[in-house]
Chain A
Amino acid sequence: MTARPDDPPAVVLPSPFDDGAMYDAIFHGFDMDLDFWRAQAKTAGGAVLEAACGTGRVTLPMIEAGADVDGFDLFPAMLARLQARASERGLRVDARVSDLRDFRMPRRYALIAIPFNAFLHNLTQADQLASLTRCREHLLPGGRLVMHVSFFGAAIIAASGGPPELEYETRHPVTGRTLRLYDQRMMDPIEQIQHSINEVHELDERGEVLAMHRSETRVRWIGKPELELLLAAAGFTRWRIDGGFAGQPLRSAEDQMIVFAWADGNR
């Protein structure tokens, strides 16, 4: 069974990005990409823009690495949390509520970063192209767009229609309780759109569920050749697609795509 993306969900659930504190409680320990983004920011050679910066999981480490970083995000709750965390650390950041598809920032950048599959929230080709075009327009001459996009592989398609899967487990940084993130996915392989119902279970010391937080989200997966067509259509002239944060080639469908794109026409 596959879900059509236009099927209404059985219940209307919040987005996982409506609650910055819960988001952080789950992903506070997720750091596999931070060394990469710090290094990108340090070698950018100019100002950095992070799209869909959220609560600053990547933004703040880039600033602490010495980079001049602006950010934007669609969700005010995430940005409020970012500003609170920045203040705690004595940092200042220009982060505003904006949509990836039509953001306008007051300056151009040497690096635009889109970490952690944020680009996949573009659900139509028009949205994908608008987002890439906006990014290109905000790049300084010689600047680069860098984004992390998981590969649209067999495992992703196969996960469709099954029972909720335990995707991630961590400890709440404040209460110390176990948090389990379950994901139930329905994939439409024609449009490559995946509808996920997420559940975060908060467990007590005996393993009983104390609280459950449900949310839903949609992403549109992208294949590598498709991504290259999107980059070309948005005016990028050169790109490289690695298979991980260490610069390894893209070989396996389980790899992460790390995309570097340049617009040589930018003046």
Chain B
Amino acid sequence: MATTTDYYCTPELYEIIYSDFTADIPFWVEIAKAARGPVLELCCGTGRVLIPCVEAGVAMEGLDAASAMLDHCRAKLARTGRTAELTVSDMRDFTRPRRYALIVIPFSSFYHNLTRADQIATLRRCREHLAPGGRLMFQVFHPDLRKLLENDGVPRLPKTIPHPEGGTVRVTDTGRADFIEQRLRIQREVEELDPGGAVRARHELQFDFRYLWKPETELLLAAAGFTRFEVQGGFGAARAPVAGENLVWTAWQDS
């Protein structure tokens, strides 16, 4: 059976599937530049956010639980002669020798914490790794009722993305939502098609999310010891959160 860990064993496919999602990159680059110090990114993956930050001159460190993703990130950095310190580590129990002005967790990766213990452990780790006055920022999607109800065990309409080496990649998701425990399991079929439309390769993947409501997130931050935090909607200038859209949380380490 496929697991979330397996899901991140195919970095090339991951990058193709999410190649159209770039809306958050300028936001994170600006945040990272403003930190004026080393920045730690959790769940940095293949460097979708990390590499643009490095290119903008930020000293980035990245953690990810999937070594295949980090290998891919490292190879991409090497091709442009850049470096970043990348470490295979679980966000729930990472240990680094320094403290950071900024820790970021983009792209709803925090939702891979599936239990309350995992959520609080991750937040505590982050708080312990922040310099005085430093901040943790993470982005998660706010649950959208209509989208959640689509996770009814029926395959959704496939999404087709051009493959950079020719042909296409076809992605078909089948989701199941547990509204009580706020979990979402996506079973994903990824097919690589040649230019004639014949299936060249097929992958079965799976990943789990544990989504959060806003008041619940506030309780988690408090349980992890944060005393000051705020939330904004979207990736632009600060604005009020909007239901069903992206939320960006900021939590400060005490000065």
Contacts and interface: CB of A to CB of B under 8 A. Distances in A.
Nearest to A253: B179
Q: Which 9 A-B residue pairs are closest in the complex by CB-CB distance?
A: A229-B219, A226-B216, A189-B243, A253-B179, A157-B145, A190-B241, A190-B214, A190-B243, A224-B180
B223 A125 contact: no
Contacts of B222: 233
Interface in A135-175: 151-154, 157-158
A2 interface: yes
A125 B216 CA distance: 10
Nearest to B219: A229
Interface in B159-193: 179-182
B180 A190 contact: no
5 contacts: A153-B179, A189-B143, A223-B216, A228-B116, A229-B216
Contact of A125 (B145, B181, B218, B241): B218
Interface in A5-22: none
Given A2-B243, A189-B243, A189-B244, A125 B180 contact: no
Given A154-B145, A190-B241, A225 B216 contact: yes
B27 interface: no
Interface of B: 116, 142-143, 145, 148-149, 179-182, 213-216, 218-220, 222-223, 241-244
Contacts of B143: 189
Nearest to A157: B145
B181 A232 contact: no
B78 to A, nearest CB: 42
A95 to B, nearest CB: 31
A189 B241 CA distance: 10
Nearest to B247: A190
Contacts of A220: 215
Interface string A21-62: 000000000000000000000000000000000000000000
Contacts of B216: 223, 225-226, 229
A226 B223 contact: no
Contacts of B179: 153-154, 253
B142 to A, nearest CB: 7
Contacts of B244: 189
Given A191-B214, A233-B223, A223 B145 contact: no
A158 B145 contact: yes
A178 interface: no
B223 A232 contact: yes
Contacts of B149: 154
A233 B244 CA distance: 27
Contacts of B241: 190
A230 interface: yes
Contacts of A125: 215, 218-219
B60 to A, nearest CB: 32
B182 A223 contact: yes
A154 B180 contact: no
A213 interface: no
Contact of A192 (B181, B182, B213): B213
